């Protein structure tokens, strides 16, 4: 690892935005992270303000950058307002734009549309001097300021670097071999590996083997010279395709997310001494009457199971007769309710409980009934 010349970054998040040449009210995003966006992230991790980053950007621009598109994501537009009570400069630069209404002057708010990449994932490789690569790795592993994916409103959903040098650093002859060395990993075990080739954007620089740019190279104006004011130079970017799968260019690794069983659900323990004590207290509190129909109460109903199993409080229970208890339970099961259940004292449930009581009386077979009947059930 002493001669590592490549740093790998995982750029993944719910939203990303990588501006290129967008201006004014329409702000588009590039299909992959730009060099200015990644280098700006590094300056942010070092705690460098925009005006102080110019000198460090000269060093960072020596790094050669490649991007592998593991998931392209979906393009999504959002509505923004800019300059509320602050104002935006006019196009001629002569002052804040104002509008007049009812004889009064108001600062004009600018309405903009901004594009994002949703649910995208990229592998970024930065290749260059060993010392600079390790310096960048240390900054991103312990950032001074929170990093973002293009815009401040786009935090990463995964750490940009793992912090493990053996995983984040490597030595490779070129960007293509570096991008192919890292496995494509599904989010979960049921996600199929991509059948279409993965699109990569690699920075082209002249060499002895290839002194002239290939005809398919594109020009991206994303080499940052200054962040304040924003000044960018062009670079040549080449699109290449690599295939993922067994025996292909890119291996397929293990899923990032593993099945996590849900936390154990609290269940009632009707033999628990604590529950029996609270049950008796609740029936006593309700004067031994059903809170719904005011007939003698024979049981209690859990209105929440969050403390079930012996830790119940009296407010978790309601006294009910057997018929009302069965009716409330049938409504709960029909609705698929979870920990929080029906409070039979709530007026919003009254009509439904009454209708369910009538169904029980009408359709329940006397021969198959396993419990003591109330007087109104014997019809």
Q: Kindly report, residue by residue over 184-202, the tens digit of the pLDDT.
A: 999 888 888 788 899 999 9
Least reliable range by pLDDT among 93-102, 181-190, 192-201, 266-275: 93-102
Q: Using 50, 70 and 90 to split pLDDT, how confident is the model at 177? A: very high
pLDDT at 246: 80
Question: Is the pLDDT reported for residue 60 higher than 90?
Answer: yes
- What does the alpha-carbon distance between residue 111 and residue 101 come to, in Å, rounded to a whole number? 18
Q: Using 50, 70 and 90 to split pLDDT, how confident is the model at 95? A: low
Percent of the chain beyond pLDDT 90? 66
**If residue 352 lies in a helix (H) or strand (E), which one and from where to where?**
helix 350-363
Question: Is the pLDDT reported for residue 166 higher than 90?
Answer: no
Question: Is the pLDDT reported for residue 316 higher than 50?
Answer: yes
pLDDT at 371: 52
Domain ranges in the chain are: 6-242, 273-377
Q: Using 50, 70 and 90 to split pLDDT, how confident is the model at 260? A: confident
pLDDT at 105: 63
Question: Is the pLDDT reported for residue 58 higher than 50?
Answer: yes
- What does the alpha-carbon distance between residue 123 and residue 128 come to, in Å, rounded to a whole number? 17
82, 88 Cβ separation under 8 angstroms: yes
Spacing of C-alpha 151 from chain mean position: 15
pLDDT at 3: 76
Nearest to 172 by CA among 198, 133, 201: 133
Tally DSSP H helices, then E strands, for the chain: 8, 13
pLDDT mean across residues, the chain: 88
pLDDT at 379: 44
pLDDT at 374: 53
Nearest to 299 by CA among 316, 324, 277, 274: 324
DSSP H helices in 173-252 = 175-181
- Cβ-count burial 257-288 (b if 16+ within 10 Å, e if not): eeeeeeeeebeeeeebeebeebbeebbeebee
- Tokens representing 70 are 């593991």
Q: Give 185's DSSP letter.
A: -
Torsions phi, psi for 348 (to 5 deg): -65, -20
Q: Give whole-number Cα distances, 50 to 30, 45, 187, 224, in Å.
A: 22, 12, 35, 11
Question: Is the whole model's pTM more than 0.85, yes or no?
Answer: no
Q: Using 50, 70 and 90 to split pLDDT, how confident is the model at 1? A: low
Question: Is the pLDDT reported for residue 365 higher than 90?
Answer: no
The pLDDT tens digits for 116-163 are: 999 999 999 999 999 999 999 999 999 999 999 999 999 999 999 998
pLDDT at 6: 96
110, 119 Cβ separation under 8 angstroms: no
- Cβ-count burial 198-211 (b if 16+ within 10 Å, e if not): bbbbbbbeeeeeee
Nearest to 89 by CA among 106, 107, 74, 104: 107
Q: Does domain 6-242 have CATH number 3.30.70.360?
A: no
């Amino acid at each position: 690892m002493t001669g590592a010349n490549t740093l790998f970054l995982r750029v993944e998040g719910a939203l990303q935005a990588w501006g290129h040449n967008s201006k004014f009210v329409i702000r588009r995003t590039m299909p992959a992270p730009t060099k200015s966006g990644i280098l700006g992230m590094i300056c942010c991790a070092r705690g460098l303000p925009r005006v102080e980053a110019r000198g460090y950007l000269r060093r960072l621009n020596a790094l050669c950058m490649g991007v592998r598109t593991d998931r392209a994501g979906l393009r999504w537009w959002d509505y923004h307002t800019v300059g509320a009570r602050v104002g935006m400069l006019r196009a001629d630069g002569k002052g804040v734009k104002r509008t007049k209404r009812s004889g009064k002057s108001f600062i004009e708010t600018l309405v903009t549309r901004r594009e994002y990449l949703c649910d995208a994932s990229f592998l970024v490789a930065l290749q260059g001097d060993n010392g600079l690569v390790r310096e960048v790795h240390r900054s991103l592993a312990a950032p001074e300021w929170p990093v973002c994916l293009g815009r401040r409103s786009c935090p990463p959903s995964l750490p940009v670097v793992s912090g493990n040098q053996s995983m984040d650093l490597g030595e490779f002859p070129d960007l293509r071999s570096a991008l192919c060395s890292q496995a494509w990993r599904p989010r979960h075990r049921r996600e199929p590996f991509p059948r279409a080739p993965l699109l990569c954007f690699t920075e082209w620089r002249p060499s002895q083997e290839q002194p002239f740019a290939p005809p398919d190279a594109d020009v991206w104006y994303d080499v940052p010279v200054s962040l304040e004011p924003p000044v960018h130079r062009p670079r040549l970017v080449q699109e290449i395709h690599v295939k993922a799968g067994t025996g292909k260019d890119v291996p397929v690794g293990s899923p990032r997310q593993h099945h996590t069983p849900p936390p154990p659900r609290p269940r009632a323990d009707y033999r628990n001494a604590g529950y029996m004590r609270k049950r008796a207290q609740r029936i006593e509190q309700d004067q031994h009457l059903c809170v719904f129909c005011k007939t003698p109460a024979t049981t209690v109903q859990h209105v929440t199971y969050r403390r079930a199993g012996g830790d119940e409080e009296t407010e978790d229970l309601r006294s009910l007769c057997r018929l009302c208890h069965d009716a409330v339970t049938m409504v709960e099961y029909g609705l698929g309710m979870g920990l929080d259940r029906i409070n039979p004292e709530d007026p919003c449930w009254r009509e439904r409980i009454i209708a369910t009581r009538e169904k029980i009386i009408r359709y329940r077979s006397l021969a198959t009934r396993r419990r003591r009947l109330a007087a109104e059930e014997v019809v």
